[in-house]
Structure 1
Amino acid sequence: MKKFLLIVFVAVLGGLIALGGANYLGWGDTRYVEVANTPTSLTSFATAPGTRVVPAPTDGFVIAAERSLPAVVHIKASKPAGRGGQIPFGIDPDQLPDAFRDLFGNPGRGGNDQEMPLQQGSGSGVIISSDGYIVSNNHVVEDAETLEVVLNDERTYTAKVIGTDPTTDIALLKIEETGLPTVQFANSDDVRVGEWVVAVGNPFSLTSTVTAGIVSAKGRSIDIVRRSGGDLAIESFIQTDAVVNPGNSGGALVNQNGDLIGINTAISSPTGVFAGYSFAVPSAIVKKVAEDLREFGVVQRGLLGAQIRQLNTAYARELDIDRNNGVYVFEVMEGSAAEEAGIQSGDVIVAVDGVRTLRNSTLLEQLGRHRPGDQVTITAERDGKERDFTVVLKNSEGTTGIVRPSEKPEAVASLGAKFEDLSEDDVRQLRLQGGVAVTELGNGLLSEQTRVRPGFILTRVNGRQVEDVQQLQRLLESSKGAVTLEGVYPDNPERTYKYAIVK
């Protein structure tokens, strides 16, 4: 027992000695080490004097949505679905054996009087005047037989096409109404990369949908309009990451105030739906095209008359030019505006009216804002020195006058289509005696009363052979009341289609 008590006493005594030593050495205190002249924060942010930081709106994008939604419409375009209906895998229904045709609902046949089925596409548009003018995309309304416009308040109208411009993918429509809500144009030149924007449209027929994002780039070219607009196509898109999907085409891209800065036109996607970026035609181009179509029926394009190519390091090295950017002129057309101004092959265009144009897209956009007869100042580099050239732009006919739409005879015009004489080779290949081809279809008797689609070859009117467009005109002028039309489609010339119209 005494031995046990001795052990406890020694243990307690050892503990007290240890605590006393720790206290003597200061181990029981909590101390903060301070280093002289050390900043309280190890991370510093650079601030540019006078820079205004614009945060995301605290109320979201309510103002932009409230101001723009009433002026954005839903467009329903009825277009031919294709001969005899649609079947999978691109199979031609007329090539199917009869034993298999029932698997696909017996498409493609059913009598000479069978009309083409229609399919309905969906897009958007923007009201730009209170009396019913609407801008949209050309690809939304192209080849449409009927166009139905549904307003934000669900009122529905039939629209007519005033004009289209495939080179910018812009179309102008008209509905018969007054007192409509409109959107105001903003200057797309003032839009800055990184600025907040709002897209308004009808994706997947989800009417009046609003999405937001930022401007990702300006002056972007993706070679999509060139497919329909050809060499005169203008692509200088505003690129944004606001979500845009099929059905948004023709809708509005607006700033935080709800003012129009572009018309949503395309998306960059491997799947056909939104995958990160969308593209809008700048409002400066939209406004000019819409004004031209409303005033003249066709777009007035001021042309320079030169073949151009965008410079880069590799191309500059190939040309032995000490410059890595700009627009290189490799050919000047005879009698063109460029030649008359003194611009030569080998010049490098760097500005139009003081606006730097170091890319093809920017140059074409600046020129596309002008009409024939307009005077612009082109700045170009030659032999290492910049010089200015005063250029008077010309039209596609080589003059400075206004281009007028070609007038069609009244009887042919009433059909609402463009016709073209068949060539001798077409007549021989299709084994026809003659005929005229429908090259374009717009508003008129054919689209209103039949299912004729572009490509149709009209061979007879009221049983009488049609040789050319002039004879078609004479036959129509002499016909009253009901008129029968016969013809074929070039992909199946052995099958005759019959239609009837009432004049």
Structure 2
Amino acid sequence: MGFAFVLGLAFASALDLRGHGNAAQASLLQQPATRPFIPAAKPAADLGQAFVAVAEHVKPAVVFIQSQHQERVDTRRLPPGFDDFFPQFRGRPRVEQGTGSGFIVSSDGYLLTNNHVVEGADKVTVRLLDKRVFQAKVVGTDPQTDIAVLKIDAQNLPTVAFGNSDSTQIGEWALAIGNPLGEAFAFTVTAGIISAKGRLLQGLYAGGYQIQDFIQTDAAINPGNSGGPLVNVRGEVVGINAAIASETGYSAGYGFAIPINLARTVMQQLVASGRVQRAVIGVMIQEARPEDAQAVGERDIKGVVVQDFSSDESPAKKAGIQQGDVITEVDGRPIEYGAQLQQIVGFKKPGETVSVTVLREGGVRKNFTVRLAAAPPTPDTEQISSAGSRTRGTAGTISRRSATLGITVEELTQEDVRDPSLRPVLQNGGGLLVTDVSPDGPAYSRLAPQGSPAGPDIILKVNGQPVRTREDFRAALRAVHSGDIATLIVFSPGNQAQPGQQRVVRLLMP
């Protein structure tokens, strides 16, 4: 190695390369640092500077949240008086800790975050970008929208600016700011676009009045980002980062934010009274399908279908709205999916009225004035009986395969009549139980047969005609021809977590 090094120096000296190398080095050091001018790159450079400016403006109003819940667990029971002799068996407190994000909405210390960031917490600590730490008070929470309002004792704080989430467009740039994966990555900024709007995430929150109207973004969101702001390129908050869709639990490009317009409405009620009061029109709804649009003579597939009513005292039912009606407008505002109807109605005051426009079968357009009622509490699940799973033998059963719908039905048995979960069916005069659904028929994936997790469905009516027997079923279908829509009123028995309810199923006859 030493020989090679010396030989190299000798070779360089012989060629006088050392002097040239020093001159080249000096030349490089003296070269002026000029930026290349690439006209085509200017828009991208301007966008990058916009991201920088937005991040610098918003980050001071973003906070790092730590929540703590202490639970005392008795690991072993001891006779009275023995605790002092066996201290190792005493119940030791178990401390659960979590982290999340939030942002300051007023200079006197009000903050917005997710309910699930602080839910059940005994202690909430907030750290600002400037490293100041405060104990936070939970002003109010709303699990149905996953919104929480906190308050810290401080003044002259930096705040965010609110944007208009209703006018946010798919394809717009968006920045997510928060604390992914804990304190080590606090105040991280990621960029992406608005990927979609009006997203529904099944199974995310429990409760009968949850409002899901998520903004989808591909800006990276990870655990810990919850509660942080989703910001547009004008530095305005358009959403609260709340959830991700991922098989691993980490960002896979599908993040979801609560629209800030919805969050502001909830926040105002929580600050004013500590709780959220909701109004309802008393309907269960589902987004319209092509069959629904055809049934009401509408080219565009829009609106929500009235599946059932909350009770006979439902404001919508009392106003004259019927099962199967397609709600297209409320107070003149178009309704394309369910969360829009929920937001227009839900945050009005009970006793107020709304104008509801519906389309009915045959292309009939009707307007109804509906007086809103207060939302009742969520049903007590302990009082809901379960239909359980039904096992039926083939011997002695009377079934009928509908060649057009591709389903097999059975009349209710005496055992079914005694089932308390089917009491609503009997109150409606009975129905036909779906025992099988052909994968080749129009009812496949629309009706739940016996043996399926959601089944069995019970058909109550076909095109408005009650069907209690096989002959009723045949007679109702005889009036429906190929290309027509068959409208079924179906009862799903439900389970301990979800009560049974009716729904409308429209099928295109082959």
TM-score, normalised to structure 2's length? 0.59
Aligned equivalents of 2:173 and 2:53: distance in 1?
Answer: 13
1:248 pairs with one of 203, 213, 225? 225
Aligned equivalents of 1:111 and 1:375: distance in 2?
Answer: 64
Partner of 1:76 in structure 2?
66
180 and 347 in structure 1: CA distance in 2 versus 1, 3 angstrom threshold: same
Task: Check conservation: 1:284, 1:369, Cα contact below 8 A.
Answer: no
1:382 pairs with one of 345, 360, 365? 360
Aligned equivalents of 2:58 and 2:347: distance in 1?
Answer: 25
Task: Check conservation: 2:296, 2:360, Cα contact below 8 A.
Answer: no
The count of corresponding residues between Structure 1 and Structure 2 is 323
Task: Check conservation: 1:77, 1:147, Cα contact below 8 A.
Answer: yes
Unaligned stretches of 5+ residues in structure 1: 1-52, 85-92, 95-108, 399-422, 424-503
Partner of 2:115 in structure 1?
138
Aligned equivalents of 2:292 and 2:73: distance in 1?
Answer: 47
Q: Please state how far the C-alpha of 1:201 moved relative to its aligned partner.
A: 0.6
Q: Secondary structure in 2 aligned to 1:61?
A: helix
Task: Check conservation: 1:308, 1:328, Cα contact below 8 A.
Answer: yes
Q: Please state how far the C-alpha of 1:131 moved relative to its aligned partner.
A: 1.2
Alignment pair present for 1:326 and 2:303? yes
Structure showing greater radius of gyration is: 1
Partner of 1:391 in structure 2?
370
2:97 pairs with one of 120, 135, 159? 120
Aligned equivalents of 1:283 and 1:268: distance in 2?
Answer: 20
Q: Please state how far the C-alpha of 1:82 moved relative to its aligned partner.
A: 8.3
Task: Check conservation: 2:199, 2:214, Cα contact below 8 A.
Answer: yes
Counterpart code for 2:287? Q
1:270 pairs with one of 247, 256, 261? 247
Task: Check conservation: 2:277, 2:347, Cα contact below 8 A.
Answer: no
Structure with larger RCO (C-alpha < 8 A, sep 6+): 1
Aligned equivalents of 1:345 and 1:284: distance in 2?
Answer: 31
Aligned equivalents of 1:280 and 1:112: distance in 2?
Answer: 46
Q: Please state how far the C-alpha of 1:198 moved relative to its aligned partner.
A: 1.0
1:177 pairs with one of 154, 157, 178? 154
Q: Please state how far the C-alpha of 1:350 moved relative to its aligned partner.
A: 1.4
Cα deviation per residue 1:158-185 (whole Å; 9 max; x = unaligned)? 1111111010000111111111111121
Aligned equivalents of 1:224 and 1:154: distance in 2?
Answer: 37
Q: Please state how far the C-alpha of 1:311 moved relative to its aligned partner.
A: 2.4
Alignment pair present for 1:201 and 2:201? no
- Where in structure 2 are the equivalents of 1:76-115 lying within 5 Å? 76-80=66-70, 83=73, 113-115=90-92
Q: Please state how far the C-alpha of 1:112 moved relative to its aligned partner.
A: 6.1
Counterpart code for 2:369? T
2:191 pairs with one of 204, 212, 233? 212
TM-score, normalised to structure 1's length? 0.59
Counterpart code for 1:391? V
Q: Please state how far the C-alpha of 1:68 moved relative to its aligned partner.
A: 1.4
Partner of 1:339 in structure 2?
317
Alignment pair present for 1:167 and 2:157? no
Q: Please state how far the C-alpha of 1:321 moved relative to its aligned partner.
A: 5.6
Task: Check conservation: 2:356, 2:367, Cα contact below 8 A.
Answer: yes
Aligned equivalents of 2:167 and 2:72: distance in 1?
Answer: 44
Unaligned stretches of 5+ residues in structure 2: 1-42, 77-85, 378-382, 384-510
Q: Secondary structure in 1 aligned to 2:153?
A: coil
